Structure 1
């Protein structure tokens, strides 16, 4: 399955990590130099959760990020799921 949040749509992002060598000038060196740029991926913090929705009277199983879980705690499960279009 894809690593995508059901509510926010957060997915794996790609970026770069810069490798540097040398000692900084302020520490007495001749400066730092870029030696390599490496591709890397940043994954969302996904959790599989079974959430009780009071208005529906049942549990809903979701794969959501921790940010979406905080949003759900703040706004309520039913309102968040309705805004995401997961329930009618």
Structure 2
């Protein structure tokens, strides 16, 4: 299963984690220094959901991000799915 939201298209992104060492100057040190930059993945909060759509009279199974679930709660299932082009 691809890690992509059906509504928003949110997917796994890549980013970087910066490792630092040293004590800050305002704490009496000589300053912080970057020692390493490591690649990491930032994944969306995906959930598999079965949503009831009253206009269709049936359930629709989707992979949604948490933000997409909030959008469906706010705007309604039918309107959101129609705007996304899923029905």
- TM class, shorter-chain normalised? over 0.9
User: Counterpart in 1 of 2:50?
Assistant: 50
Q: TM-score, normalised by structure 2?
A: 0.99
Q: How many residues align?
A: 87
Q: Per-residue deviation at 1:3?
A: 0.2
User: Counterpart in 2 of 1:41?
Assistant: 41
User: Counterpart in 2 of 1:59?
Assistant: 59
Q: SS at 2:82's partner residue? A: helix
Q: Deviating runs (4+, > 6 A) in structure 1?
A: none
Structure 1 regions of 5+ residues with no counterpart?
none
Q: SS at 1:16's partner residue? A: strand
Q: How does 1:21-40 map to 2 (within 5 A)?
A: 21-40=21-40
Q: Per-residue deviation at 1:83?
A: 0.3
